[in-house]
Chain A
Amino acid sequence: MSDTPRTRTIRTDYLARVEGEGAMYVRLDGEQVADVKLRIYEPPRFFEAMLRGRAFGESVDITARICGICPVAYQMSAARAMEDACGVAIDDGPIRDLRRLLYCGEWIESHSLHVYFLHAPDFLGYPGAIEMARDHREVVERGLQMKKAGNQVMTVVGGREVHPINVRVGGFYRAPTRSELRTLVDPLERAREIALDTVRWTTELSFPDVDRDTELVALSDPGGYPIDLGRIVSDRGLDIDPAGFDEHIVEEHVEHSNALHARMRDRGAYLTGPLARYNLAGDRLRPTALEAARAAGLGPQCTNPFQSIVVRSVELVEACDDALALIAGYEPPGRPWVEVEPRRAVGHGATEAPRGMLYHRYEIDDDGTILDARIVPPTSQNQLAIEADLRAVVETHMHLPDDQLAHRCEQAIRNHDPCISCATHFLTLTVDRG
């Protein structure tokens, strides 16, 4: 500690290449990190209040509008929660397969966007992918091609890329025909090749040496890599049904953010998303993705958030491979939905959005009117862990000049693909060294 403590402030007021509006603020007193804030200033939109008094079936279309990047995640968590309330479980069979296929499309679209457009420019030193394309056009083009395959899946199964129209509580309005799904095979096979290239390509990037020890939380699906259903588990022994969410996880409202902060009641910060899924369920990856991970030198555990770009690429292989398997085994259901009769009850639903677990809870009346709604998006859950990462990155990189430190901090935030629209919702970065 110096006798004359020098204060530094590092701040970014408009964080770029994240979904939504946010800011970062870091203040250093000498060698001490005095304050770290990920500020989410995206204006609140009050979805939980708007849902009160609506019909239970409307939850799927209304909550999709929380996020244009991961609307399927909202539709799936809402549908599962409503079905749970009404005593219906769609845990296997052709409707579940179609849901998983649609979800794979969203993972491919969202992860391609993040890997190539939001994250890679940090490693290659460009402000964005359009600028990156001036020197690496073929790289950006393959990213776009893979992204397009994801969007094609969403369009065929869901009707369109953003806010699909074909999802309902109980299933789908119309099941795609086998020949409609066959049109996806070529693009998905190409996308799988690109994803494999992407794993190799991202492995070559240079990563700062950061090792984080945050509690990791993901769904656990005995049938495969977690996407659309499962129990909620962690690497510190948590193993609960989604109905137990409230008992173990609390949300707090803090002044600097329009997003609520979630934390484990007993232990504090935790992380959901690709790193958590990979560390907890990597052994359930299909062989193609697992081999790609091993060939890339990724062990069973990966605790460096900067390497999440590699893990996301492995998940891209998995999503393409899974989608192809689902299409190969597809038998159109006779009727693409099951009847869901409302009753006065509470229901819970948790699924894996591309950027982490998304939890919904609804209380509905006998006639299906929504009495109460609660939505906990992944970015709210990850916010404390992201701030802890920021603190760790500042502690190990405080020798850097302000602009480089700010950039490293922004990267530490983008590692987790925060979706600020989801969390309310907007992000701004400030580093304060006074």
Chain B
Amino acid sequence: MTASKPTLAVWKFSSCDGCQLSLLDCEDELLALADRIQIAYFLEASSATVEGPYDVSIVEGSITTAHDAERIQEVRRRSRALITIGACATAGGIQALRNFASVDAFTSVVYASPDYISTLRSSTPISDHVPVDFELHGCPIDKRQLLEVISAHLSRRRPRVRAHSVCMECKRRGTVCVMVAHGTPCLGPVTHAGCGALCPSYDRGCYGCFGPQESPNTPALSRRMSELGSGEVDLVRVYRTFNAGSDAFRRASEAHERDEGQGEAR
């Protein structure tokens, strides 16, 4: 009976669990989804597991240990389609801040006996290790987008997920621009859409949790934020959060770090 249903597996690597929780947060759709597909591996929800291969694997989290670097290869081998969800899986997550510092120093801050801890020097996205069929951005992801991506893969069509900026979403919902009207620094112009422009609708500037949009012009935005009073340290910080490891935000934060260093030298 279940053999004819497509199978879905959910895998966790280094992460907060929030993105896979988004699947359980689909309260209105979850049981209907479970009628149509077989949830074959999802440890947070069930101890019953089915051996692969799986039609679709959803992967949360980044690679931070040698063991996980091997485990993701096995997950890839057992998955027809592999979709990564969230900032950890697509950009290394907040834990990628270690990529800019010394892991040894980090370990000794948290643990009294650093010898017990085994970890890699960097936190890397899944796509650095295996081919990925689709990346869904967000910290956390948007659950409606998750349902769209799962449905699309099950019916073998392209997911309808736009790659434009949060700015476009503000315009579409008619939110007054917080940067133009209030001078609030906002990453909306360079950030990937998907949240529905949430922060500006709460009188707050976007903080970039969906990562960079397709072709972000970070230097132009940084100039504007400097005019609004952001210093180099602030600019390093705004690009260096949950998507610090994404190419565009990493380059931007490193550029401001260099400028900050030069400022000090002068």
Contacts and interface: CB of A to CB of B under 8 A. Distances in A.
Interface of A: 14-21, 42-50, 52, 54-55, 58, 61-62, 65-69, 71, 113, 117, 121, 127-131, 133, 137, 140-141, 144-145, 147-148, 151, 159-163, 165-166, 168, 173-174, 252-255, 258, 260, 410, 419, 421
Contacts of A410: 47
A20 B64 CA distance: 15
A168 B199 CA distance: 12
Q: Which 7 pairs of residues, A with B, have the shortest CB-CB distance?
A: A68-B18, A128-B46, A127-B48, A16-B47, A49-B106, A49-B109, A148-B27
A46 B25 contact: no
A115 B103 CA distance: 38
Contacts of B116: 253-255
A43 B65 CA distance: 7
A48 B109 contact: yes
Given A20-B17, A50-B94, A128-B47, A165 B199 contact: yes
Given A69-B21, A147-B27, A44 B110 contact: yes
A163 B209 contact: yes
A71 B18 contact: yes
B129 interface: no
A127 B204 contact: no
A427 B237 CA distance: 33
Given A45-B14, A49-B109, A69-B17, A17 B44 contact: yes
Given A48-B110, A144-B30, A162-B22, 7 more contacts: A21-B12, A48-B109, A65-B94, A69-B18, A127-B48, A130-B31, A166-B204
Nearest to A67: B16
Given A62-B94, A69-B21, A128 B139 contact: no
Contacts of B43: 14-17
A46 B107 contact: yes
Residue of A44, A129, A131, A161 with most chain B CB atoms under a 10 A cut-off: A44
Given A44-B119, A127-B46, A151 B202 contact: no
B220 interface: no
14 contacts: A21-B12, A45-B64, A46-B106, A46-B109, A47-B94, A49-B98, A49-B101, A65-B139, A65-B242, A113-B21, A130-B39, A133-B34, A140-B31, A162-B140
Nearest to A129: B45
Contacts of A419: 17
B95 interface: yes
A18 B21 CA distance: 12
Given A43-B65, A255-B116, A66 B16 contact: yes
Interface in B184-220: 195, 198-199, 201-204, 207, 209
Contacts of A151: 25, 27
A165 B17 contact: no
Given A21-B12, A147-B27, A50 B47 contact: no
A54 B10 CA distance: 33
B202 A50 contact: no
Contacts of A20: 12, 17
A47 B242 CA distance: 12
B18 A43 contact: no
Given A46-B98, A46-B106, A173-B202, A19 B44 contact: yes
Residue of B34, B47, B109, B119 with most chain A CB atoms under a 10 A cut-off: B47
B47 A17 contact: yes
Contact of B204 (A68, A133, A174): A174
Nearest to B31: A133
B112 interface: yes
A50 B106 contact: yes
B94 A45 contact: yes
Contacts of A254: 116
Contact of B45 (A17, A71, A168): A17
A22 to B, nearest CB: 10
Contacts of B16: 65-68, 71, 421
B129 to A, nearest CB: 15
Nearest to A128: B46
A61 B45 contact: no
A419 B44 CA distance: 11
A109 to B, nearest CB: 8
A227 B255 CA distance: 43
A19 B21 CA distance: 9
B113 interface: yes
A166 B201 CA distance: 10
A162 B65 CA distance: 26
A376 to B, nearest CB: 12
Residue of A43, A113, A129, A163 with most chain B CB atoms under a 10 A cut-off: A43
B132 interface: no
B31 A137 contact: yes
Contact of A148 (B12, B21, B28, B204): B28
A148 B29 CA distance: 11
A68 B17 contact: yes
B254 interface: no
A144 B47 CA distance: 19
A34 to B, nearest CB: 22
B31 A141 contact: yes
B90 interface: no
B195 A162 contact: no
A140 B45 CA distance: 13
